[in-house]
């Protein structure tokens, strides 16, 4: 099927630009695309300002890799790097941000609240021809294109199927297949997508949030958990409180083991230790956010989408 956004005049991808702290992902993505990975050097002045040095002699379509966990300084880096890349010859700039920050705040809940999703999307869209991301935390919009300024195109991918494949392989020799559970209603789409290719039983909990670290979770009614291997699956883990409450409920209902699989392993503070303290056996994540739990690579997923942009 022909991509309507791609024309004969679209310049080919010629390079992946990566910062030093994302060198591993940069090389994996560049290898998947069959192009070189070229570094962006950073220098911090005593007053905290940054100096970036980009490769010279760029051409064609250039991929700029930057995952936006701990995003504030990285956003400044992008605002400096994007026009510099164009000045060095890049005809098109494709931002590849495996984790795209500031997508959760999508509505003004109280007067004066900034709708961060809208503002950050507009800011990035002014500097890039396309933005490719994985499992962005979108609630009330169907796609990034609704908040990106034209002609910037948004491409939202999902790591759910990759996580589902990994989970199925881990339990390939079990007498019973694992039961996948989403810790809240918002996770329904991810758990269903992960379960579908392998025909795994799946369900999701109901959550009531009282604060950033105060949540109440309820398991689905009539869900038989006795002696089952349960995997909690979600798009992200931040404080981990929702997953912790879900794990405790699963064990109380008779689950034999509880593992966790997430796309974005943010794990703020003691979140990972608290998960293990709650009885979670193993924690797996994609490498969208660098973390010790990374078990599933997304370079191939990203490369496939970038070829079609």
Edge-first strand listing for the sheet containing 179-182: 202-204, 179-182, 229-237, 257-265, 283-286, 294-296
Q: What is the DSSP letter of 239?
A: S
Peptide bond just before 36 cis, omega within 30 deg: no
Residue 9 sits at φ, ψ, to 5 deg, of -85, -5
Residue position matching structure tokens 């992946």: 16
Q: Catalytic pick from 74, 127, 137, 207?
A: 207
* Orientation of helix 116-125 relative to helix 71-87, angle to 10°: 20
Residue 182, judged by CB atoms within 10 A of its CB (0-12, 13-18, 19+), counts as buried
Distance CA 211, CA 239 (A): 11
Percentages (nearest 5) of helix, strand, coil residues in the chain: 30, 25, 40
Query: Is-catalytic flag, 207?
Result: yes
Query: Which residues participate in catalysis according to the annotation?
Result: 207
């Amino acid at each position: 099927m022909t991509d309507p956004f791609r024309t004969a005049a679209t310049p080919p991808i010629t390079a992946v630009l990566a910062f030093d702290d994302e060198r591993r992902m940069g090389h994996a993505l560049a290898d998947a695309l069959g192009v070189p990975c070229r570094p962006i050097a950073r220098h911090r002045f005593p007053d905290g300002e940054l100096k970036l040095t980009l490769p010279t002699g760029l051409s064609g379509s250039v991929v700029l890799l930057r995952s936006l966990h701990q995003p504030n300084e990285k956003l400044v880096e992008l605002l400096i790097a994007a026009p510099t890349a164009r000045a060095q010859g890049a005809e098109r700039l494709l931002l590849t941000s495996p984790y795209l920050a500031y997508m959760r705040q999508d509505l003004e809940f109280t007067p004066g609240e900034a709708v961060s999703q809208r503002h950050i999307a507009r800011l990035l869209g002014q500097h890039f021809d396309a933005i490719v991301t994985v499992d962005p935390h979108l609630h009330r919009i169907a796609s990034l294109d609704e908040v990106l300024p034209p002609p910037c195109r948004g491409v939202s991918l999902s790591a759910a199927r990759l996580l589902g494949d990994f989970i199925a392989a881990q339990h390939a020799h079990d007498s019973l297949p694992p039961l996948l559970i989403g810790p809240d209603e918002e996770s329904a789409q991810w758990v269903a997508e992960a379960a579908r290719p392998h025909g795994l039983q799946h369900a999701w909990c109901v959550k009531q949030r009282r604060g950033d670290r105060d949540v109440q979770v309820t398991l689905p009614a009539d869900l038989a958990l006795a002696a089952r291997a349960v995997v909690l699956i979600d798009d992200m883990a931040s404080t981990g409180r929702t997953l912790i409450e879900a794990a405790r409920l699963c064990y109380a209902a008779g689950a034999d083991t509880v593992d966790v699989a997430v796309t974005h392993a943010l794990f703020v503070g003691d979140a990972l230790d608290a998960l293990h303290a709650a009885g979670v056996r193993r924690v797996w994540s994609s490498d969208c956010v660098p973390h010790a739990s990374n078990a599933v690579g997304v370079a191939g997923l990203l490369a496939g989408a970038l070829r079609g942009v």
